[in-house]
Structure 1
Protein backbone atom coordinates (compact mmCIF):
# COMPACT_ATOMS: atom_id res chain seq x y z
CA UNK A 1 0.00 0.00 0.00
CA UNK A 2 2.89 2.35 0.77
CA UNK A 3 4.32 1.90 -2.72
CA UNK A 4 0.94 2.41 -4.41
CA UNK A 5 0.35 5.66 -2.56
CA UNK A 6 3.95 6.83 -3.02
CA UNK A 7 4.65 7.08 0.72
CA UNK A 8 8.03 6.20 2.19
CA UNK A 9 8.10 3.06 4.30
CA UNK A 10 10.92 4.23 6.54
CA UNK A 11 13.43 7.03 6.74
CA UNK A 12 17.05 6.49 7.62
CA UNK A 13 19.73 9.05 8.35
CA UNK A 14 22.52 6.67 7.32
CA UNK A 15 23.20 5.62 3.75
CA UNK A 16 23.20 1.84 3.32
CA UNK A 17 24.53 -0.06 0.31
CA UNK A 18 23.85 -3.75 -0.38
CA UNK A 19 26.76 -5.62 -1.98
CA UNK A 20 26.41 -8.72 -4.10
CA UNK A 21 28.65 -11.60 -2.98
CA UNK A 22 27.49 -14.30 -5.40
CA UNK A 23 30.07 -16.18 -7.52
CA UNK A 24 30.04 -15.34 -11.26
CA UNK A 25 28.39 -18.64 -12.20
CA UNK A 26 25.19 -17.90 -10.26
CA UNK A 27 25.23 -14.08 -10.15
CA UNK A 28 22.18 -12.42 -11.67
CA UNK A 29 22.77 -9.43 -13.93
CA UNK A 30 20.56 -6.74 -15.41
CA UNK A 31 20.44 -6.18 -19.18
CA UNK A 32 21.11 -2.68 -20.52
CA UNK A 33 18.20 -0.86 -22.19
CA UNK A 34 18.15 -1.26 -25.98
CA UNK A 35 18.87 2.42 -26.67
CA UNK A 36 22.23 2.14 -24.83
CA UNK A 37 23.44 -0.99 -26.63
CA UNK A 38 25.57 -0.54 -29.77
CA UNK A 39 25.96 -3.18 -32.49
CA UNK A 40 29.59 -3.78 -31.52
CA UNK A 41 29.01 -4.06 -27.76
CA UNK A 42 30.27 -7.29 -26.25
CA UNK A 43 28.89 -6.57 -22.78
CA UNK A 44 25.09 -6.29 -22.77
CA UNK A 45 24.78 -6.05 -18.98
CA UNK A 46 25.16 -3.40 -16.30
CA UNK A 47 28.42 -3.70 -14.39
CA UNK A 48 27.78 -5.08 -10.91
CA UNK A 49 29.61 -4.11 -7.72
CA UNK A 50 32.14 -6.96 -7.96
CA UNK A 51 33.11 -5.93 -11.50
CA UNK A 52 33.46 -2.30 -10.35
CA UNK A 53 35.64 -3.38 -7.45
CA UNK A 54 37.91 -5.45 -9.70
CA UNK A 55 38.26 -2.46 -12.07
CA UNK A 56 39.32 -0.03 -9.33
CA UNK A 57 42.11 2.49 -10.04
CA UNK A 58 45.63 1.07 -9.93
CA UNK A 59 47.01 3.43 -7.30
CA UNK A 60 48.69 2.73 -3.94
CA UNK A 61 45.74 3.96 -1.85
CA UNK A 62 43.46 1.33 -3.42
CA UNK A 63 45.85 -1.63 -3.10
CA UNK A 64 44.85 -2.77 0.39
CA UNK A 65 41.12 -2.07 0.22
CA UNK A 66 38.79 -5.01 0.60
CA UNK A 67 35.52 -5.23 -1.33
CA UNK A 68 33.35 -3.69 1.44
CA UNK A 69 35.95 -1.02 2.31
CA UNK A 70 36.03 0.17 -1.31
CA UNK A 71 32.29 0.89 -1.33
CA UNK A 72 32.27 2.25 2.24
CA UNK A 73 34.90 4.86 1.42
CA UNK A 74 34.31 5.70 -2.26
CA UNK A 75 31.38 6.69 -4.42
CA UNK A 76 31.35 5.24 -7.97
CA UNK A 77 29.39 7.06 -10.69
CA UNK A 78 29.38 6.83 -14.49
CA UNK A 79 29.17 10.63 -14.89
CA UNK A 80 31.53 13.29 -13.65
CA UNK A 81 30.63 14.92 -10.32
CA UNK A 82 29.47 18.50 -10.87
CA UNK A 83 31.59 20.21 -8.27
CA UNK A 84 33.73 18.81 -5.55
CA UNK A 85 36.97 19.75 -3.85
CA UNK A 86 37.82 16.08 -3.32
CA UNK A 87 40.17 14.03 -5.50
CA UNK A 88 38.47 12.31 -8.46
CA UNK A 89 39.86 9.06 -9.92
CA UNK A 90 38.94 7.00 -12.98
CA UNK A 91 38.68 3.20 -12.95
CA UNK A 92 39.14 0.67 -15.77
CA UNK A 93 35.41 0.91 -16.63
CA UNK A 94 35.68 4.72 -17.02
CA UNK A 95 33.64 5.37 -13.89
CA UNK A 96 34.40 8.33 -11.66
CA UNK A 97 35.61 7.41 -8.17
CA UNK A 98 35.24 10.04 -5.43
CA UNK A 99 36.24 9.61 -1.79
CA UNK A 100 33.23 9.98 0.49
CA UNK A 101 33.33 12.61 3.23
CA UNK A 102 31.65 10.09 5.56
CA UNK A 103 31.74 6.30 5.21
CA UNK A 104 28.45 4.51 4.53
CA UNK A 105 27.05 1.27 5.96
CA UNK A 106 27.57 -1.86 3.86
CA UNK A 107 25.29 -4.89 3.95
CA UNK A 108 25.58 -8.27 2.27
CA UNK A 109 23.83 -11.62 2.36
CA UNK A 110 24.33 -13.58 5.57
CA UNK A 111 25.88 -16.96 4.83
CA UNK A 112 26.93 -19.82 7.09
CA UNK A 113 29.73 -22.33 6.61
CA UNK A 114 27.04 -24.86 5.66
CA UNK A 115 26.51 -22.83 2.46
CA UNK A 116 29.90 -24.22 1.36
CA UNK A 117 31.27 -22.53 -1.80
CA UNK A 118 29.03 -19.48 -1.49
CA UNK A 119 30.32 -18.86 2.04
CA UNK A 120 34.00 -19.24 1.14
CA UNK A 121 33.69 -17.07 -1.97
CA UNK A 122 32.04 -14.38 0.16
CA UNK A 123 34.80 -14.64 2.78
CA UNK A 124 37.46 -14.14 0.10
CA UNK A 125 35.69 -10.99 -1.12
CA UNK A 126 35.20 -9.60 2.38
CA UNK A 127 38.65 -10.27 3.81
CA UNK A 128 41.29 -10.45 1.05
CA UNK A 129 42.12 -7.28 -0.94
CA UNK A 130 42.16 -7.87 -4.68
Structure 2
Protein backbone atom coordinates (compact mmCIF):
# COMPACT_ATOMS: atom_id res chain seq x y z
CA UNK A 1 0.00 0.00 0.00
CA UNK A 2 1.26 3.47 -0.92
CA UNK A 3 2.32 5.59 2.07
CA UNK A 4 2.01 9.37 1.89
CA UNK A 5 3.57 11.95 4.17
CA UNK A 6 1.40 15.07 4.07
CA UNK A 7 2.86 18.37 5.30
CA UNK A 8 0.23 21.14 5.39
CA UNK A 9 0.09 23.95 7.95
CA UNK A 10 -3.65 24.68 7.53
CA UNK A 11 -5.49 22.36 9.93
CA UNK A 12 -8.74 22.14 7.95
CA UNK A 13 -6.94 21.59 4.63
CA UNK A 14 -4.66 18.94 6.18
CA UNK A 15 -7.63 16.98 7.56
CA UNK A 16 -9.57 17.38 4.30
CA UNK A 17 -6.67 16.11 2.15
CA UNK A 18 -5.77 13.26 4.51
CA UNK A 19 -9.37 12.05 4.65
CA UNK A 20 -9.73 12.10 0.84
CA UNK A 21 -6.48 10.21 0.30
CA UNK A 22 -7.33 7.64 2.98
CA UNK A 23 -10.75 7.14 1.40
CA UNK A 24 -8.94 6.48 -1.90
CA UNK A 25 -6.93 3.72 -0.23
CA UNK A 26 -3.69 5.46 0.70
CA UNK A 27 -1.97 5.36 4.09
CA UNK A 28 -1.45 8.96 5.21
CA UNK A 29 0.69 10.43 7.97
CA UNK A 30 -0.01 14.14 8.34
CA UNK A 31 2.07 16.87 9.99
CA UNK A 32 1.48 20.60 10.38
CA UNK A 33 4.92 21.85 9.29
CA UNK A 34 8.05 20.80 7.45
CA UNK A 35 10.18 20.52 10.56
CA UNK A 36 7.76 17.91 11.94
CA UNK A 37 8.13 15.84 8.76
CA UNK A 38 11.90 15.33 9.01
CA UNK A 39 11.88 12.89 11.97
CA UNK A 40 9.20 10.81 10.22
CA UNK A 41 11.22 10.74 7.01
CA UNK A 42 14.24 9.56 8.98
CA UNK A 43 12.38 6.77 10.79
CA UNK A 44 9.72 5.55 8.34
CA UNK A 45 9.34 4.75 4.63
CA UNK A 46 7.05 6.92 2.49
CA UNK A 47 6.33 6.65 -1.21
CA UNK A 48 5.18 10.25 -1.61
CA UNK A 49 5.81 13.56 0.10
CA UNK A 50 2.76 15.76 -0.47
CA UNK A 51 3.64 19.20 0.84
CA UNK A 52 2.34 22.71 0.84
CA UNK A 53 5.05 25.08 -0.34
CA UNK A 54 4.35 28.07 1.90
CA UNK A 55 4.65 26.98 5.56
CA UNK A 56 6.26 28.45 8.68
CA UNK A 57 9.67 27.27 9.95
CA UNK A 58 10.58 25.28 6.82
CA UNK A 59 8.90 25.72 3.47
CA UNK A 60 7.89 22.80 1.28
CA UNK A 61 10.75 23.33 -1.16
CA UNK A 62 13.37 23.07 1.58
CA UNK A 63 11.52 20.06 3.00
CA UNK A 64 11.53 18.36 -0.42
CA UNK A 65 15.24 19.02 -0.83
CA UNK A 66 16.01 17.52 2.59
CA UNK A 67 13.66 14.61 1.84
CA UNK A 68 15.56 13.98 -1.40
CA UNK A 69 18.71 13.37 0.62
CA UNK A 70 16.97 11.21 3.26
CA UNK A 71 14.77 9.22 0.84
CA UNK A 72 15.97 9.75 -2.74
CA UNK A 73 13.42 7.35 -4.27
CA UNK A 74 10.41 9.08 -2.71
CA UNK A 75 8.21 11.06 -5.07
CA UNK A 76 7.23 14.67 -4.35
CA UNK A 77 4.08 16.65 -5.05
CA UNK A 78 3.73 20.29 -4.08
CA UNK A 79 0.42 21.97 -3.39
CA UNK A 80 0.27 25.75 -3.41
CA UNK A 81 -2.06 28.67 -3.73
CA UNK A 82 0.73 31.00 -4.82
CA UNK A 83 1.54 31.05 -8.53
CA UNK A 84 4.88 32.79 -7.95
CA UNK A 85 6.29 29.91 -5.90
CA UNK A 86 5.28 27.31 -8.48
CA UNK A 87 8.15 28.33 -10.75
CA UNK A 88 10.58 28.34 -7.84
CA UNK A 89 9.45 24.83 -6.87
CA UNK A 90 9.88 23.57 -10.43
CA UNK A 91 13.44 24.84 -10.55
CA UNK A 92 14.37 23.55 -7.08
CA UNK A 93 12.82 20.09 -7.45
CA UNK A 94 12.29 19.55 -11.20
CA UNK A 95 10.96 16.00 -10.89
CA UNK A 96 8.15 17.11 -8.54
CA UNK A 97 4.53 17.55 -9.55
CA UNK A 98 2.87 20.87 -8.64
CA UNK A 99 -0.86 21.09 -7.98
CA UNK A 100 -2.22 24.64 -7.68
CA UNK A 101 -4.95 25.57 -5.20
CA UNK A 102 -7.84 25.66 -5.47
CA UNK A 103 -8.23 22.11 -6.72
CA UNK A 104 -10.92 19.50 -6.36
CA UNK A 105 -10.17 16.49 -4.18
CA UNK A 106 -10.90 14.29 -7.18
CA UNK A 107 -8.05 16.04 -9.04
CA UNK A 108 -5.63 15.44 -6.17
CA UNK A 109 -6.51 11.75 -5.97
CA UNK A 110 -6.25 11.40 -9.77
CA UNK A 111 -2.77 12.97 -9.75
CA UNK A 112 -1.60 10.68 -6.93
CA UNK A 113 -3.13 7.68 -8.70
CA UNK A 114 -1.26 8.66 -11.87
CA UNK A 115 2.02 8.89 -9.99
CA UNK A 116 1.60 5.31 -8.82
CA UNK A 117 -0.47 4.04 -11.76
CA UNK A 118 -3.26 3.03 -9.42
CA UNK A 119 -6.77 2.62 -10.75
CA UNK A 120 -8.74 4.12 -7.88
CA UNK A 121 -12.51 4.38 -8.00
CA UNK A 122 -12.89 6.90 -5.23
CA UNK A 123 -16.43 8.05 -5.68
CA UNK A 124 -15.36 11.59 -4.77
CA UNK A 125 -17.35 14.32 -6.42
Instruction: Please identify which structure carries the higher helix content.
Output: 2
For Structure 1 versus Structure 2, the TM-score category normalised by the shorter chain is under 0.3
Task: Return the structure number with greater relative CO, CA threshold 8 A, min gap 6.
Answer: 1
Instruction: Please identify which structure carries the higher strand content.
Output: 2
Larger Rg: 1
TM (norm. structure 2) is: 0.27
TM (norm. structure 1) is: 0.27
